[in-house]
Amino acid sequence: MANIQSLRGMNDILGDDSELFTYFVENASRIAKNYGFTYIETPILEETALFKRSVGESSDIVNKEMYQFIDKGENDVCLRPEGTAGVVRSFVQNKFDRAGGTYRWYYYGPMFRYERPQKGRLREFHQFGCEVFGVSSVYEDANIIMMIKDILDFFQIGFKLQLNSLGCPTCMPVYRDKLVKYLTNIKEELCEDCNRRIETNPIRVLDCKIENCQKLLYNAPKITNNLCEKCDTDFEKLKEILDFNNIEYEIDTNLVRGLDYYSQTAFEFTSSEIGAQSAIAGGGRYDRLVEFLGGRATPGIGFAIGIERLLELVKIKEEKKDVIYLGALNEEALNTLTQIATKKRDNTKTFMEYTPRGFGKHFKLAEKCGATIVALVGENELNDGTIYTKNIKTQEEKTIKLEDF
């Protein structure tokens, strides 16, 4: 009988990948905390209706990609395809909308989309995301973009930033009508998907990946030329703040995002180094989503980074830190080593070998754990209250007082 394998598009994270994964999460969390975010964790399984109402019934995510099933209690549930909906549900459920004020939350964890797996596209992938509630100032939009830039800069990742404004309930419907008129005239030449979208969600036509459709869309009306005064002023201000902070961006009027909850600012960070699935982070403003999910109207904005895509690009920046290997040369030394290990683990990764061995064997084992410092205790050291150490990087050997180690 064949051994059981993990499901297609779902990977174990182990070895070097897990080192990178935790290194990323630790440092992205540190940066988020410096921006005033606190950690939130929401369930992986939610009611299907949550995503239908937020991400949108006409989106590919809800339409084609959900891991949806009826549970033993006859509830229609699904594995979360993204993080924002659950966080907004929690915000409303815990009545933060009624309390008022500003909330900044970050999260990371697995997301599930039943897509066709390929390089950079998984069925179970991980996001690091942030959501802000209660701030309508466009400075927050800039803040979010600058924070993503800080994270990418920390990991020395080059990127392109694409920016758009999707308008608001005042200007978007007017623009949508203009767009539908334009699209109806070229309907016959557009692909099948575009034709379906003209009916269900015409803005998504702009996002079509087919070259011929993109050519036909060249002269389509642009949302940025159809914004109301408030949206236009906000968009100009956002560009001004980004310019002031030397953050380069491109305006992409076809950037509509695959989720329906956005209004005004929408953005995507891409990298040309990871193949066709080039989006490493995406997000935007969702000022109506809280209300849509039954809460009191509260502005919101956020983003998510695709951790697997980002890890393809991460170069470990830190100097390799010391790793200590502790070994006993006789049985009696083991107890002393347990005390030393506890002390060193305050700030240094420390391995302890539980079997007393000779020098040569200890050095071989130390090499296997990637130790940079080998520290050994035997009869002489026990009698003198000392410890033998060798620094593998410099090859320096020393026998020092235990309290100095």
Binding flag, residue 378, ligand HAM (CB under 6 A): no
* Chain Cα centroid distance, residue 56: 21
Interface residue with ligand HAM, options 303, 325, 363, 405 (CB under 6 A): 303
By the rule CB under 6 A, 115 interacts with ligand HAM? yes
Which helix (DSSP H) or strand (DSSP E) does residue 79 occupy? strand 76-79
Q: Would you put residue 12 in left (φ > 0), alpha (ψ -120 to 50) or beta?
A: beta
Beta bridge partners of 374: 325, 390
Among 167, 302, 356, 378, indicate the residue that binds ligand HAM (CB under 6 A): 302
Of the residues 283, 295, 356, 378, which one makes contact with ligand HAM according to CB under 6 A: 283
Stretch in the footprint of ligand HAM (CB under 6 A) among 40-48, 120-128, 334-342, 369-377: 120-128
Q: Does residue 306 bind ligand HAM (CB under 6 A)? A: yes
For 188-201, b where at least 16 C-beta lie within 10 A, e where not — what string? eebeeebeebbeeb
Q: Which residues of 294-326 are buried (b: 16+ CB within 10 A; e: fewer)?
A: ebeebbbbbbbbbbbbbbbbbeeeeeeebbbbb
In the list 56, 167, 258, 378, the residue contacting ligand HAM (rule: CB under 6 A) is: 258
Based on the shown chain and the rule CB under 6 A, indicate whether residue 83 belongs to the binding site for ligand HAM: yes
DSSP-assigned beta bridge partners for residue 310 = none
Question: Looking at beta carbons, which residue is closest to ligand HAM?
Answer: 306
Contact status: 134 vs ligand HAM (CB under 6 A): no
282 near ligand HAM (CB under 6 A):
yes
C-alpha distances (whole Å) from 216 to each of 164, 193, 201, 278, 322 are 20, 14, 18, 24, 59
Instruction: Say whether residue 171 binds ligand HAM (CB under 6 A).
Output: no
By C-beta, is 61 or 328 nearer to ligand HAM? 61
171, 209 in Cβ contact below 8 A?
no
Extended beta strands in 166-207, E state: none
The answer to whether the beta carbons of residues 86 and 80 sit under 8 Å apart is: yes
Q: Return d(Cα 237, Cα 4) in angstroms, integer.
A: 55
* Cα(252)–Cα(178) distance, integer angstroms: 19
Cβ 92 to ligand HAM shortest distance, Å:
16
Candidates 129, 134, 202, 356; binder of ligand HAM (CB under 6 A) is 129
**267 sits near ligand HAM (criterion: CB under 6 A):** no
Give strand pairing partners of 325: 351, 374
Least spacing, CB of residue 193 vs ligand HAM, in Å: 18
- Three-state DSSP state, 308: helix
Distance CA 61, CA 261 (A): 13
Q: Which DSSP symbol is given to 202? A: G
Residue 56 binds ligand HAM (CB under 6 A): no
From 278-286, 324-332, 383-391, 393-401, give the range in contact with ligand HAM by CB under 6 A. 278-286
Q: How far is the CB of 303 from ligand HAM (least distance, A)?
A: 5
55 vs 382, beta carbon nearer ligand HAM: 55
Q: Closer CB to ligand HAM, residue 253 or residue 277?
A: 277
Task: For residue 52, state whether it binds ligand HAM (rule: CB under 6 A).
Answer: no
Q: Which is nearer to ligand HAM, 125 or 325 (CB)?
A: 125
Find the part of the chain contacting ligand HAM (CB under 6 A) among 80-88, 168-176, 198-206, 241-249: 80-88
Q: How many residues bind ligand HAM (CB under 6 A)?
A: 25
Footprint of ligand HAM (CB under 6 A): 82-84, 113, 115, 121-122, 125, 127, 129, 131, 258-259, 279-284, 302-304, 306, 308-309
